Amino acid sequence: MGAGRARPGLLEAGDDEQVVSMARASLIYVSKDGIVAQNGGAPVDPVMLGEALWHAAKVTQDPILQTAADTMLDWVLHRAPRAADGTIYHTGETIWSDSFHTTPPFLAYTGH
C-alpha cells in the first residue's frame, strides 16, 4: 500500500492497461466545470479518480487525458467549494471525511 492508505487498486497493482481504460471511460461524465467522472455527486467524488487519471495521462501522453487531469488539478487547487480555512467541502456546504481520502492523496500524487 502506498503512503499509509489504500491507493486505487489497479494503480497499486501496476495494471496500466486497466488504469488507462478506467480513465478513458471516465470521460463520458464531464461536469459544466470540465471535471471528469462528475455525475451529480459531491464536489470531491471525482477526485477519487485523480491519481489514476493523472497516471494514465502521463503513461499515454494522451492530450485529452492530460487536459482532464490538469483541469481536475486546477479545480482542486483553485475552484472547488471550500471553507474559510481552505478545506474543500464534500457536499458543497459541509466537510465530510470523504474529503480527506480523496483530495490530499491526489494532491500528493501530483506533487502538491
The burial class, CB within 10 Å (0-12 / 13-18 / 19+), for 94 is: exposed
Residue 78 and residue 103 in contact, taking contact as beta carbons nearer than 8 Å: no
Would you say 54 and 110 are in contact if contact means Cβ atoms under 8 Å apart?
Answer: yes
Global pTM?
A: 0.82
Give pLDDT tens digits along the chain (112 positions): 333 334 567 788 788 999 999 899 989 988 887 888 877 777 778 888 899 999 999 999 999 999 999 999 998 899 888 888 887 777 666 666 666 677 888 889 899 9
